[in-house]
Amino acid sequence: MKLSPSQIEYVNHYIVSKDIKWYELQLELTDHLVMEMERIWEQSPELSFHQVMNQAERLFGRNGFKEIENERTEVLRKEYRKQHFSMVKEYLRFPKILLSFLAVFLIFKMSFYFETASYIKFFSGILLITSIISIFNWFRYRKIKGNSLLSIETTYLLNNSSISLAYFSLIGSVKLAEKMDENHLRLLPFCVLYVFGILFIFTGRHLTNSIIREIKKQYLLN
């Protein structure tokens, strides 16, 4: 027995009432619950709509909807983290590693033309501003056409991965400068970290934008 459009809408509202705020999960759980209800109703047509719904919901277990949400969140985080690190690793392999070495060399070379504290503050500031812009870009798409999307929410860590590095570099720039003035080569690890920070920001933003495009296409949210 097939559910009517109004019954399916009721099921969807019920899913939302269970504090499932993510649009794609609302659709997915509604589909699963409707399928189970139609299967049960086919076997037991004497049952009422609400009896069928209660039986179908029990198949998800106690707090089943929230457990599914938590599991999906963890799966997406692991998946995006893996993709993100894979993109960064591309710049540690030939031929892209040559670009990484060149960036480190040029940034280190620039340190000879600036006072050390100002140099660290300048590049840490760029890293911080770039991180903030990336986070703003993520925040702008947290909701698409009024819909909150778990796939986009879980990309937050992709877009703030370097903000801590930038912040602590700015805070500790004076102390760092005092030590690095003694030996200029001590700036080299900072240059390497800076390049890694930029790589994490831009690959994270690229991955986030790819996910946003995919979500818009999949759920017709253009």
Which amino acid appears at position 150 of this protein? Answer: L
* pLDDT tens-digit map of 17-68: 999 999 999 999 999 999 999 999 999 999 999 999 999 999 987 778 999 9
* pLDDT tens-digit map of 74-103: 999 999 999 999 999 999 999 999 999 999
pLDDT at 188: 87
pLDDT at 134: 86
Looking at the fold, whether 82 and 20 belong to one and the same domain comes out as no
Last residue of a domain, one of 18, 37, 61: 61
Looking at the fold, whether 184 and 98 belong to one and the same domain comes out as yes
Looking at the fold, whether 34 and 121 belong to one and the same domain comes out as no
In angstroms, the CA 22 to CA 151 distance is: 9
pLDDT band at 115 (very low <50, low <70, confident <90, very high): confident
Strands 147-148 and 143-144: antiparallel
Looking at the fold, whether 79 and 55 belong to one and the same domain comes out as no
Looking at the fold, whether 56 and 70 belong to one and the same domain comes out as no
* pLDDT tens-digit map of 144-191: 999 999 999 998 877 776 676 666 666 666 566 667 767 778 888 888
In angstroms, the CA 14 to CA 8 distance is: 10
Looking at the fold, whether 104 and 137 belong to one and the same domain comes out as yes
Q: For residue 63, what are the contacts with CB-CB under 8 A and spacing of at least 6?
A: none
Q: How many domains does the chain have?
A: 2
Last residue of a domain, one of 20, 41, 61: 61
Give yes or no for a contact between 148 and 23, defined as CB atoms under 8 angstroms apart: yes
Please count the residues of the chain: 222
pLDDT (average), residues 112-124: 84
pLDDT at 29: 95
Q: Distance between alpha carbon 23 and the CA centroid of its chain, in Å?
A: 16
Give the number of C-alpha atoms closer than 13 A to the C-alpha of residue 34, restricted to the C-beta side: 20
Looking at the fold, whether 26 and 92 belong to one and the same domain comes out as no
Looking at the fold, whether 42 and 98 belong to one and the same domain comes out as no
Looking at the fold, whether 41 and 88 belong to one and the same domain comes out as no
User: Minimum mean pLDDT among 29-33, 106-110, 122-126, 151-155: which range?
Assistant: 122-126
Looking at the fold, whether 90 and 44 belong to one and the same domain comes out as no
Most confident option among 122-136, 179-193, 202-216: 202-216
Domain carrying residue 32 = 5-61
pLDDT at 161: 67
In angstroms, the CA 217 to CA 73 distance is: 21
Looking at the fold, whether 73 and 51 belong to one and the same domain comes out as no
SS3 199: helix
In angstroms, the CA 78 to CA 80 distance is: 6
Looking at the fold, whether 34 and 72 belong to one and the same domain comes out as no
Give the number of C-alpha atoms closer than 13 A to the C-alpha of residue 44, restricted to the C-beta side: 12
